[in-house]
Amino acid sequence: MLTLYGHSFPSRLLLGTAAYPSLDIMRQAVAAAEPAMITVALRRHNPASDSGGELWTLLQEAGIPLLPNTAGCLSVQEAVTTAQMARELFYTDWIKLELIGHDDTLQPDVFQLVEAADILIRDGFKVLPYCTEDLIACRRLLDAGCQALMPWAAPIGTGLGAVNGYALRLLRDRLPDIPLIIDAGLGLPSHAAQVMEWGFDGVLLNSAVSRSGNPVQMAKAFAQATEAGRNAYEAVPMPPSEHTRASTPTVGQPFWHSENYGGAV
């Protein structure tokens, strides 16, 4: 179970709603993934508009909790205002906080992010900040009151997977009790499985599903990979070794593997 701000969710996968070939394919992808939450950008899908109203109806019918986001915001005031509008329109105090500081990489502006998070948390929001893997920036967000973080694996839409595995594993190691959801940069189900094997609590996907050749099938594949990666983490994988160690018993030595044996068979 994924637990965020005291709320438990049966899935560890969150799914975005942008760039699908059609609303029907998006609906099928959501059904295939069975995500914990569905993210939606107010600046792209205003439920008060005609096109946004159709999406809003579909999301309500799905019966899955919504996670509005502040995608496209470039300033603290813009992000705060967008979050407040989303709360009124979507009837939720959950917000995925995005504040972009660089157009080419879509890298989060961590300085403004901390400031906006502090304001929104004081206003009663459950803030999930999209951030980098920088440990100091993440600690500042926690100091501001965030109870979960969403570090990137790679820049949005690249599909590269975890480009800085060392920093991500360090983040996981130094913040063992904080829910960490990998957001952005995953392109393959194996990428999701990998970060889940490292002990991350969940993944958030959009482009990897919506821009694939078969979004419905890919959504299911990511759901399976996310679950498999978590199961592997909880099972405690065997430690890697540079030495071989046979697993098949030697004739006449049925319990050879219980000895302190380090040579080859």
- pLDDT at residue number 62: 87
Phi, psi of 213 (to 5 degrees): -65, -30
The tens digit of pLDDT for each residue in 240-257 reads 888 887 777 666 666 655
Counting Cα atoms < 13 Å in the Cβ hemisphere of 124 gives 4
Separation between Cα atoms, residue 146 and residue 149, nearest integer Å:
7
Q: Are 66 and 87 in contact (CB under 8 A)?
A: no
Give Cα 9 distance to the centre of its chain: 13
Catalytic residues: 96
Residues in contact with 7: Cβ distance below 8 Å, sequence separation at least 6, in sequence order: none
Per-residue pLDDT, averaged over 163-187, amounts to 97
The reply to whether 157 sits in an annotated binding site is: yes
Whether 125 has a pLDDT exceeding 70, the answer reads yes
Per-residue pLDDT, averaged over 21-39, amounts to 96
Separation between Cα atoms, residue 48 and residue 44, nearest integer Å:
11
Q: Does domain 2-258 have CATH number 3.30.1330.10?
A: no
Token readout for 116 is 């906006």
Separation between Cα atoms, residue 164 and residue 189, nearest integer Å:
18
151: DSSP letter: E
Which of 113, 170, 123 has its CA nearest to residue 143? 113
Q: Which residue has the higher pLDDT, 44 or 117?
A: 117
Separation between Cα atoms, residue 38 and residue 68, nearest integer Å:
8
The reply to whether 185 sits in an annotated binding site is: yes
Per-residue pLDDT, averaged over 89-115, amounts to 92
The reply to whether 184 sits in an annotated binding site is: yes
- pLDDT at residue number 105: 81
The reply to whether 187 sits in an annotated binding site is: no
> Where do the domains of the chain lie?
2-258
DSSP three-state, residue 190: helix
Q: What is the value of pTM for the model shown?
A: 0.89
Q: Are 118 and 154 in contact (CB under 8 A)?
A: no
The reply to whether 206 sits in an annotated binding site is: yes
Q: Which residue has the higher pLDDT, 181 or 259?
A: 181
Phi, psi of 248 (to 5 degrees): -90, 125
Q: In whole numbers, what is the pLDDT of the chain averaged over residues?
A: 91
Alpha helices, H only, the chain: 23-33, 50-62, 76-90, 110-122, 135-143, 165-174, 189-197, 207-210, 215-235
Phi, psi of 38 (to 5 degrees): -115, 125
